[in-house]
Amino acid sequence: MGKLALAMLVLLMGMSDASSAGESFWSFYFYINADPVLSNEGMKTLKQIRKIAARNCRDADFAIIYSIKSKQETKGFQVVKNCEIIDLSRQIASKKLSSASTMSFFLKTSAGMLAPDGRKFLSIWGHGKGWLAKGYLDEGRGEESGNMVEFARETGRRGLFDVLVLDSCLMSSVEVLYEFRAAATYVIASQLVLNDIGIDYSTIDTRTDPLHLSMNVISGTARRLKTSRLLPFSLALVDIGKIEKFRKSFENLLLDMSLALAPVKGGPEDILDEFLGKPGGRITWTSIDDLGRGIYLSSRSGIESMSVDLGALLDRIKTRFPGLPSTDDAIESYGELVVDRRSRTSSQKHTGISIFFPKSAHFVSNEKDIAHYRNKLSFPGSSKWLEFIRWLETRRGFFSAPQSFN
């Protein structure tokens, strides 16, 4: 048994009346993969989780798997049931936590030992790269990284978790959340780069229901982040069961947008005035040229610079095209999707969930990028979002001047 497991055993042995005859009301699963860059934060998170397990082991079960890479790798797999530790670390000696097959093994093995009934909580901790299929839970040092879509698939196969925490950067995007739609009831995720140690689990209360437990976690994390480094954050608590309703309303909105922006007699800059409720008037492409202005998540490079806030985008569409009949439905279903959000940013336009929106024609003209976005992810195609992006490119070279979105 490693030093960390021994330290946890000391904590458990120090508790009075530490055994419990009944099954736990909650079962908590923690999956931690920290590369050398995240080794300090990963160790802090692991220690916090061990303390929570020691404090709550009489009325909850815990399964904790971790790989923390510093000068040497600290690796382990322990189950805490009835305040007793079962060490399974030898079973993962040759496994990499960046592999979805290891996640499958962890969930299957743990489920056979933890309470079969009751509520379930899963946290997946490590590097995140938003909707990029590769780069998830990166091992570092040039080694392999995980595939977000495969992790979502394996998680969904193991039954519905009451709470799922995607404790990584940039995971609160509609593309990512849609992949995990079969995995959980509530999802906690970060819209921006997640700083410090990530999500704060110290507020976990095993006596409460999934919604209030989730709200406690997100509010506790926000309080800690506000007192730590003065960096922006944007967290969302999502009712993932509502995401299919949102997808349908969003698809209807995109279809209405396509019709409303179709060229008529006067040429490609004319809009169907009756569709916009402005008979006799004329709205030119400047109305849609302004859609992305000021609502990108960040000016930095990478996924943040190519993603806009989804709620802000919907509001922008309503302002620019007030006559679209499906806008209010999309905004309403988005409001049902985001149960709670906490943020500290320089912009008021962070509503919890982002969506990919390219700044230039490079993406829509690059078949390799298009194939990745279309073939690896479910939301872009099923919601018609990808078709809409490509359709915009055919309209007067919409993405030809990225500076218009600064």
- pLDDT at 265 > cutoff 50: no
Domain locations along the chain: 3-10+26-231, 243-340+347-405
| Two tokens, residue 272 | 């169907």
Average pLDDT over residues 123-127: 95
* Structure confidence at residue 106 (pLDDT): 97
Q: Does the pLDDT at position 340 exceed 60?
A: yes
Under the banding of pLDDT at 50, 70 and 90, the label for residue 276 is very low
List, for residues 300-316, the tens digit of each pLDDT value.
Answer: 666 666 788 999 999 98
* Mean of pLDDT values over 353-372: 76
Binning pLDDT at 50, 70 and 90, where does residue 264 land?
very low
Cα distances (angstroms) measured from residue 37 to each of 69, 76, 95, 144, 255: 9, 19, 20, 15, 44
Q: What is the mean pLDDT of residues 241-255?
A: 94
Quote the mean pLDDT of the chain: 81
**To the nearest whole percent, how much of the chain has pLDDT over 70?**
75
pLDDT digits (tens, 9 = 90+) for 363-375: 666 777 777 787 8
Dig out the tokens for 249 from the structure: 């309303």
- Of the chain, the percentage scoring pLDDT greater than 90 comes to 49
Contacts of 61 by beta carbon, 8 Å cutoff, 6+ apart:
23, 24, 26, 27, 28, 79, 80, 81, 113, 114, 115
Q: Does 10 score more than 50 pLDDT? A: no
Q: Which residue has the higher pLDDT, 204 or 298?
A: 204
- The answer to whether 233 and 167 are in contact (CB under 8 A) is no
pLDDT at 344 > cutoff 80: yes
| In the predicted structure, residue 261 carries a pLDDT above the cut 50 | yes
Residue 269 has pLDDT above 90, yes or no: no
pTM for this structure?
0.86
- Which of 55-64, 211-220, 283-292 has the least mean pLDDT? 283-292
DSSP calls for 13-52: HTSTT---SSPPSEEEEEEEEE-GGGHHHHHHHHHHHHHH
What per-residue confidence (pLDDT) applies to 68?
92
State the pLDDT confidence band at 318, using cuts at 50, 70 and 90.
Answer: confident
The contacts found for 41-46 with CB under 8 angstroms, 24 or more apart, are 41/196, 41/197, 41/198, 42/66, 42/68, 42/125, 42/126, 43/68, 43/74, 44/197, 45/125, 45/167, 45/197, 45/198, 45/201, 46/4
**Domain 3-10+26-231's class?**
alpha beta
pLDDT band at 95 (very low <50, low <70, confident <90, very high): very high
Average pLDDT over residues 254-277: 52
Among 89-103, 160-174, 377-391, which is the least confidently predicted range? 377-391
With b for 16 or more beta-carbon neighbours within 10 A and e for fewer, the 248-280 pattern comes to ebbbbbbebbeebbeeeeeeeebbebebbeeee
What residue ranges in 233-359 does DSSP mark as E strands? 233-239, 307-309, 338-344, 354-356
In 57-187, alpha helices (H): 100-111, 148-157, 174-179
Of 119, 221, 242, nearest to 166 (Cα)? 221
Contacts of 259 (CB under 8 A, 6+ apart): 272, 275
Q: Hey, what amino acid is at 206?
A: T
Residue of higher predicted confidence among 71 and 351 = 351
Helix (H) or strand (E) segment spanning residue 350: none
Distances (CA, A) of 93 to 67, 76, 90, 380: 10, 8, 5, 38
Whole-angstrom Cα distance, residue 14 to residue 6?
12
The pLDDT, as a whole number, for residue 132 is: 81
Q: Which token pair is 195?
A: 């700083």
Highest-confidence segment of 1-15, 133-147, 320-334, 341-355: 320-334
DSSP state of 60: E
SS3 188: strand
171-203 pLDDT, tens digit each = 999 999 999 999 999 999 999 888 877 899 999
